[in-house]
Structure 1
Amino acid sequence: MKHWKIKLSLFLNYFVFAILLNSVGTVILQVINEYQIDPSSASVLEGYKDLSIAIASFLIASYIPKFGYKKSMLAGLAFVTVAAIVMRLTGGFLMTKILFATVGVSFALIKVSVYSTVGLITDDSNEHSSFMNMLEGIFMIGVLLGYWLFGGFIDWANHTPGATWLDTYWVLAAISAAAFVLLVFTELDESEVQADNQDIKKSFLEMIGLVRLPLVLIFIAGVFLYVYIEQGIGTWMPTFNNKILQLPDAMSVQVTSIFAATTAIGRLASGAVMKKVNWFWVLISCIASAMLLVVLVLPLAGGIEEGSVQGWLSAPFAAYIFPLIGLFLAPIYPTLSSTVLSKLPKTKQSGMTGLIVIFSALGGTTGSIFTGFMFDHLDGITAFYLTLIPMGIMLLILFPYRKLRKDFKFESLTD
């Protein structure tokens, strides 16, 4: 396979951050139960993660091509390795905030570099879209295994004197250190980008200038709404399982892995599907199906008595069916990202990636905090019903987005 070693490295980098980033829902549940933090206050952990991603991306995305994609990824991996070790040794709500802020800054380095590197190792838009879906599919496999990793340590800590769920971070530190070592010994030819490297200030202004393009504006809205939905559901699903469906703590986390699993399957499969079916109709079908699932399944989640669920066999039907929403949400993010990146020259993709990361982070923070607020002041079922609103808006904006993308020419950036 062409470029197999760098592709393997990108997969492992994304795998590490998949576990770290998406552990926030699990950690929120632990914070609520261990430190007696209310849901609204616990939801700020999503903000520490996502706002640090957005701020870092805004400040450094234009500098990354000059610094180097490989060096940026190495820096990100080094930061999270140290943060994971310190988290295990100290713990506490304050260190949890610092951990997620560090993970956020590091992911900004990783994601801008990874997305930009994809443009260097793929030859056309079809290969670009296919690899992006594979990359995001690997990301969701990391999310899936992360739920079981944390769930296993939570269960172990509940039954073993002296054990703690924080021991998970020894494993995460080891994985990120391994990713660091692999990347050190992996070659990446960045000459194509560095040959066109320009003044950092000019690169930054070009990144900001992209926002004035109608195509980019609608794309940003779509990405914001998608991550709002995904993070609102994914972050609060462990708490939904625990507080609404009455599942035990460890099981609440492990059942959420169904959401990650279906998302991974959806992303890995969508690459093959979109070789035969236009991306637009795939996304329209997926959003409509996700909305239908919400309407049909959430009524089954009410009225479950506390203590009625003792294990997997006694779990309510909704616990297994609602996470299938990941299958329908799966292709949206990587496909949207690929459709806009593949329209730009490789030397301009890091700036666009910076915007993707910024508005993804803002969408994730908004979705998680708003959903947490609804959990705290209304109930979890209502909080998840409200995701129908951004789903409906996203469905509608795909129509003008398709037309703008079809007519888009890069020369319009200088118009």
Structure 2
Amino acid sequence: TKPSQQDTPPSIVDGFVDMIKMSIKPLVLIFVMSVFLYVLIEQGIGSWLPTFYNEVINLPSHISVQMASIFAASLAIGRLLAGQILKFINWHLFLNICLIGMALIIVFLLPLTGASSGEEIKSIVDAPLVAYLLPLIGLMMAPIYPVLNSVMLSSLARHKHAPMTGLIVVFSAFGGTTGSLITGYFFQEVGGKNAFYLALIPMVLLIISLYFFKQETQKSSVNKS
């Protein structure tokens, strides 16, 4: 027996059309903008952190790469901890706390990166304390992306998950590329420290975006009920 039309999997063209149609909805527009801003921040900081260590804190190149690995470890640990914390706190409040924590790390630690003891740094042990503290921004950053995706997918019917996943991939890639390019441009034009200060702008925009995202997800929940 031939499969019915309902059982036939959608074609690539149909999937792309569904993705485009979905992208014009207010909830989805706010979500993809939030994803774009988050990935812009993460890649802007993460991809340029070794260069920051080398040019601003004056660490040797090989030590700069080693120190930057703390950022990746912080992301992993932060995502593990977030799952436990979210059992006790609302996701919107939690993400705002994370973003404010990221901003505070930028504001209070960047001024310390210019201070140099003048001692030669031969190993990771000789690195200044600020070099260890700065990548801990990853702990605050880590929960944002998975929580956004989880809340968004929970707000949609199951048959809409596939086109939504496509949008997540597209805007994540776009945000990552844009973040690296923008940070690199400002690294050259205004210096590494000021380039990292500029990360505060998308952080503020993401806080605003999260407010509207929460409003739209609440409307979506009411409509599903």
Normalization by structure 2: what TM-score?
Answer: 0.91
The 1-side partners of 2:127 and 2:133 are apart by 11
**Are positions 1:390 and 2:211 aligned together?**
no
**Are positions 1:378 and 2:190 aligned together?**
yes
Letter of the structure 2 residue corresponding to residue 351 of structure 1:
P
- Structure 2 counterpart SS, 1:256: helix
Alpha-carbon RMSD = 2.0
Query: 2:3: which partner in 1?
Result: none
Aligned match for 1:224, one of 19, 26, 36: 36
Q: Spell out, residue by residue over 1:125-147, the C-alpha distance to the aligned partner (whole angstroms, 9 max, x if none).
A: xxxxxxxxxxxxxxxxxxxxxxx
Q: Is the 8 A contact 1:259 1:326 kept in 2?
A: yes
Letter of the structure 1 residue corresponding to residue 45 of structure 2:
I
> Where in structure 1 do 4 or more consecutive aligned residues deviate above 6 Å?
none
Q: Give the Å deviation of 1:199.
A: 3.8
Query: 1:333: which partner in 2?
Result: 145
Query: 1:368: which partner in 2?
Result: 180
Query: Larger deviation: 345-354 or 379-388?
Result: 345-354
The 2-side partners of 1:223 and 1:273 are apart by 21
The 2-side partners of 1:214 and 1:322 are apart by 36
- Where does 1:260-279 land on structure 2 (aligned, <5 Å)? 260-279=72-91
Number of corresponding residues? 219
Aligned match for 2:101, one of 271, 289, 293: 289
Gap regions ≥5 residues in structure 2: 1-5
Q: CA, structure 1 residues 274+409, in 2 after alignment: closer, same or farther (shift >3 Å)?
A: closer
- Where does 1:7-406 land on structure 2 (aligned, <5 Å)? 195=7, 197-304=9-116, 308-406=120-218
Normalization by structure 1: what TM-score?
Answer: 0.50
Q: Is the 8 A contact 1:196 1:347 kept in 2?
A: no
- Structure 1 counterpart SS, 2:111: helix
The 2-side partners of 1:352 and 1:410 are apart by 20
Q: Is the 8 A contact 2:66 2:124 kept in 1?
A: no
Q: CA, structure 1 residues 323+241, in 2 after alignment: closer, same or farther (shift >3 Å)?
A: same
Q: Spell out, residue by residue over 1:145-170, the C-alpha distance to the aligned partner (whole angstroms, 9 max, x if none).
A: xxxxxxxxxxxxxxxxxxxxxxxxxx
The 2-side partners of 1:274 and 1:409 are apart by 19
Q: Is the 8 A contact 1:343 1:410 kept in 2?
A: no
The 2-side partners of 1:319 and 1:391 are apart by 22
Q: Give the Å deviation of 1:241.
A: 1.0
- Structure 1 counterpart SS, 2:138: helix
Q: Give the Å deviation of 1:409.
A: 5.8
